[in-house]
Amino acid sequence: MKYKGIICAMITPFDENQNINPQATCELIDYLIDKGVYGLFILGTNGECHVLTDDEKVEFAKIVINHTNNRVPVFVGTGGNSTREVITLSKRMEEIGASALSIITPYFVTPTQQELILHYKSIADSVNLPIMMYNMPGKTGINIEPDSVRELSKIKNIVGIKDSSGRLDNMKAYIEATEGEDFSVFSGSDSLILDSLKAGGKGAVAATANFLTEIDIAIYENFMNGDLEKAQEAQNSIEELRRILKLGTIPSVIKKTVVLNGINVGTARLPVTEPTGESLEEIKQVVENYREMLNKHS
């Protein structure tokens, strides 16, 4: 399967006791697929993978995979620090029908590039699923270097990378390094969706797509149709949401926008708390402005 387009970095809905909420999860999946997302990317940073147990991850992935029912691909996050544990969790996700895996680099310690290559090769050898690597140096302390990506892209089931470095030059280096391979580079930085497409990227794994689904999709589809002006307009219009995301700890603000948009996905798990006071008022205002804008266009 060729992976492309806007893939939503989906949040994990919780109930009032901060347990997984199957009903809200199914509502959100239907909303995103109805709006036209090209895939779902679960158990990433915005999916709060760092506060879920492996059993909870499998439980959540089962709900998503079953309800999505092959309408779009489901990329499941199984990354971690221990190669052995990543392999164990990846095999469990393969058994329950994941379309592909998303695997962030180890974090907390910083492996060498050779150790990183060994990590990904070992995982790729242990499962049959396609693997999308996930680069997020700001949070993990390590960048997958273009030469490492070049080597890993030659492995049959390593099919792409989500780059959340926020650096266009890094993404361009990945695109150049993997030229001629069956490999997709995705922007993990929502501010760079259009720039990455212009550079030869295949799309984006976007957290803003939980709320501004049709705007993110408009960036991609207008670009593909050759309407750069409309694509740029759509890209510019997500900046206000990106600005307010800084008013809380990930993913508290994006969850609040989805709640205000009508799907009760709950709050983030502790220690992250929901926005209050002036921040909350500002979020409400921005959501209202977006809803008015989208109603005008619909």
The pair of three-digit structure tokens given for residue 147, joined into one six-digit string: 């030469």
User: CB under 8 Å to 60, separation ≥6 — which residues?
Assistant: 12, 20, 25, 42, 43, 52
What is the predicted pLDDT for the residue at 152?
A: 98
The pair of three-digit structure tokens given for residue 19, joined into one six-digit string: 């347990």
159 Cα distance to chain centroid? 16
Write the DSSP symbol of residue 71. S
Distance CA 216, CA 239 (A): 11
Kindly give the pairing relationship between strand 131-135 and strand 5-9: unpaired
What is the predicted pLDDT for the residue at 298?
A: 65
pLDDT digits (tens, 9 = 90+) for 144-175: 999 999 999 999 999 999 999 999 999 999 99
**Which residues is 40 bridged to in the sheet?**
8, 74
Give pLDDT tens digits along the chain (298 positions).
679 999 999 999 999 999 999 999 999 999 999 999 999 999 999 999 999 999 999 999 999 999 999 999 999 999 999 999 999 999 999 999 999 999 999 998 999 999 999 999 999 999 999 999 999 999 999 999 999 999 999 999 999 999 999 999 999 999 999 999 999 999 999 999 999 999 999 999 999 999 999 999 999 999 999 999 999 999 999 999 999 999 999 999 999 999 999 999 999 999 999 999 999 999 999 999 999 998 887 6
Q: Is 134 an active-site residue?
A: yes
**Looking at this protein, which amino acid is placed at residue 122?**
S
Please give, one letter per residue, the 3-state secondary structure of 174-216: HHHHCCCCCCEEEECCHHHHHHHHHCCCCEEEECHHHCCHHHH
Q: Which of 3, 134, 174, 220 is catalytic?
A: 134
- 69 burial (CB, 10 Å; 0-12 / 13-18 / 19+) is exposed
Domain boundaries, the chain: 5-234
**Looking at this protein, which amino acid is placed at residue 159?**
V
What is the predicted pLDDT for the residue at 46?
A: 96
Count CA atoms closer than 13 A to 291's CA, side-chain side: 12
Distance CA 173, CA 223 (A): 21
Distance CA 14, CA 28 (A): 12
- Cβ–Cβ under 8 Å, residues 251 and 211: no
**Which residues is 184 bridged to in the sheet?**
160
The pair of three-digit structure tokens given for residue 45, joined into one six-digit string: 């940073």
Q: Is 162 an active-site residue?
A: yes
- Compute the Cα dihedral for 177, 179, 182, 188 and give only its sign: positive
| CATH 1.20.1440.80 corresponds to the domain 5-234 | no
Q: Which of 3, 57, 120, 162 is catalytic?
A: 162
pLDDT digits (tens, 9 = 90+) for 195-218: 999 999 999 999 999 999 999 999
Inter-CA distances, 276 with 156, 186, 248, 279, Å: 48, 33, 9, 6
Angle at 221 between CA 102 and CA 63, to 5 degrees: 35
Inter-CA distances, 118 with 121, 155, 219, 259, Å: 5, 12, 36, 41
Number of Cβ atoms within 10 Å of the Cβ of 280: 16
Q: Specify the pTM.
A: 0.96
